[in-house]
């Protein structure tokens, strides 16, 4: 009888612990954030012009300044942690950060695992290739057998894999490393966001690479990722973003960091949509 009671007690204890664990993992953390007065944010620090260090080694960029402005409107300070995109979602899950500069695609598997804000940037995919020979690429089909550089978890690398490219995985490296490796032949191509790639090549004109003209795909939206269950923070960030759109703050920040271009407004891009939901990168 005692053994039965002990086992029953153990079972109840495990059930309660499991329930608490589940509630903790998906609970709304806004009160904790508000009490601490600090919003913990993961950002790359190497992605020009969205998150990078300026000449004075100050962390800045389109995404960084948007987060700073949102925090200001929510009466919070910001604590940035710089990391590669591959670790951002794990950092969200563990509670290391509250927000990540990781864009969640609405039709991806991560859309059910995380919350995300409204879009603050609209763009589409492009490719960086060598200036001398376009890295032998004239279309997406020409990616077969080419060495594509990028972070392992991005949708861009999934596109590269789908078309038969050999993936060369990088951690949180700066643009010049990526571009130089294409120029010297260590890799052949970088698939990524058009505006980011355009700005990177203009900022580093001595590296003999370019954005491949006319080969565009996958219209995209950039947002911020939030831990599942943290709906109050999601709502408050969305309200701040909407206010920033209406009062022109997003447009001003975009024009500042994207050389006069307003990436904060949605455009009707008629480019090929490539489904990578079945692509797995191990």
User: Mind listing the pLDDT tens digit for each residue in 172-184?
Assistant: 899 999 999 999 9
Helix (H) or strand (E) segment spanning residue 11: helix 2-26
Residue 219, token pair as written in the block:
């219209």
- % of the chain at pLDDT higher than 90: 80
Residue 109, token pair as written in the block:
């598997």
Strand partners, 42: 81, 100
Q: What pLDDT score does 282 carry?
A: 78
Q: What pLDDT score does 85 carry?
A: 87
- The torsion angles phi and psi of 148, rounded to 5 degrees, stand at -105, 130
How many residues are recorded in the chain? Answer: 282
Q: What pLDDT score does 277 carry?
A: 86
Residue 43, token pair as written in the block:
């950002």
Strand partners, 59: 53
How large is the average pLDDT for residues 199-208?
Answer: 96
Q: What is the model's pTM?
A: 0.82
- Cα gap 221→200, rounded to integer Å: 19
- Cα gap 226→104, rounded to integer Å: 9
Helix axes 231-246, 62-73, angle to 10 degrees: 110
Per-residue pLDDT at 255 exceeds 50: yes
CATH topology match: 26-120+223-257 vs 122-219: yes
Q: What pLDDT score does 270 carry?
A: 87
Q: What pLDDT score does 256 carry?
A: 97
Q: Which tens digits make up the pLDDT trace of 56-101? A: 999 999 999 999 999 999 999 999 999 998 899 999 999 999 999 9
Write the CA distances from 219 to 2, 126, 149, 163, 177, integer angstroms: 64, 10, 20, 18, 26
The residue ranges of every structural domain in the chain are 26-120+223-257, 122-219
Superfamily of structural domain 26-120+223-257: Periplasmic binding protein-like II (3.40.190.10)
How large is the average pLDDT for residues 97-122?
Answer: 92
- Cα gap 93→97, rounded to integer Å: 8
CB atoms within 10 A of CB 160: 29
Q: What pLDDT score does 26 carry?
A: 52
Per-residue pLDDT at 4 exceeds 80: no
- What is the sign of the dihedral through the CA atoms of 239, 94, 62 and 188? negative
The answer to whether the CB of 162 falls within 8 A of the CB of 276 is yes
Q: What pLDDT score does 55 carry?
A: 95
- Cα gap 258→254, rounded to integer Å: 6
Q: Which tens digits make up the pLDDT trace of 19-37? A: 443 344 456 899 999 999 9
Mean pLDDT for all residues in the chain = 90
In CATH terms, is domain 122-219 a member of 3.90.1150.10?
no
């Amino acid at each position: 009888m005692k053994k039965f009671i002990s086992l029953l007690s153990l079972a109840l204890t495990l059930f309660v612990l499991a329930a608490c664990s589940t509630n903790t993992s998906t609970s709304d953390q806004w009160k904790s954030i508000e009490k601490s007065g600090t919003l913990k944010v993961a950002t790359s620090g190497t992605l020009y012009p969205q998150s990078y260090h300026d000449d004075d080694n100050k962390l800045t960029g389109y995404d960084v300044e948007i987060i700073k402005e949102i925090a200001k409107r929510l009466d919070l300070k910001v604590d940035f942690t710089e990391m590669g995109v591959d670790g951002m979602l794990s950092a969200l899950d563990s509670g290391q950060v509250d927000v990540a500069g990781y864009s969640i695609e609405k039709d991806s598997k991560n859309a059910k695992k995380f919350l995300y804000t409204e879009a603050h940037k609209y763009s589409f995919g492009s490719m960086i290739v060598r200036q001398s020979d376009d890295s032998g690429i004239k279309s997406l089909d020409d990616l077969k057998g080419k060495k594509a550089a990028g972070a392992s978890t991005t949708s861009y690398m999934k596109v590269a894999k789908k078309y038969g490219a050999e993936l060369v995985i990088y951690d949180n490296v700066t643009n010049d490393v990526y571009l130089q490796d294409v120029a010297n032949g260590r890799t052949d191509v970088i698939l990524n966001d058009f505006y980011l790639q355009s700005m990177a090549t203009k900022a580093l004109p001595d590296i003999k690479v370019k954005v491949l003209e006319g080969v565009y795909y996958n219209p995209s939206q950039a947002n911020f990722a939030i831990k599942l269950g943290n709906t109050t923070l999601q709502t408050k960030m969305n309200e701040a973003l909407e206010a920033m759109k209406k009062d022109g703050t997003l447009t001003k920040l975009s024009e500042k960091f994207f050389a006069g271009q307003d990436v904060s407004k949605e455009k009707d891009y008629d480019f090929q949509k490539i489904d990578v939901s079945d692509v797995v990168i191990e």
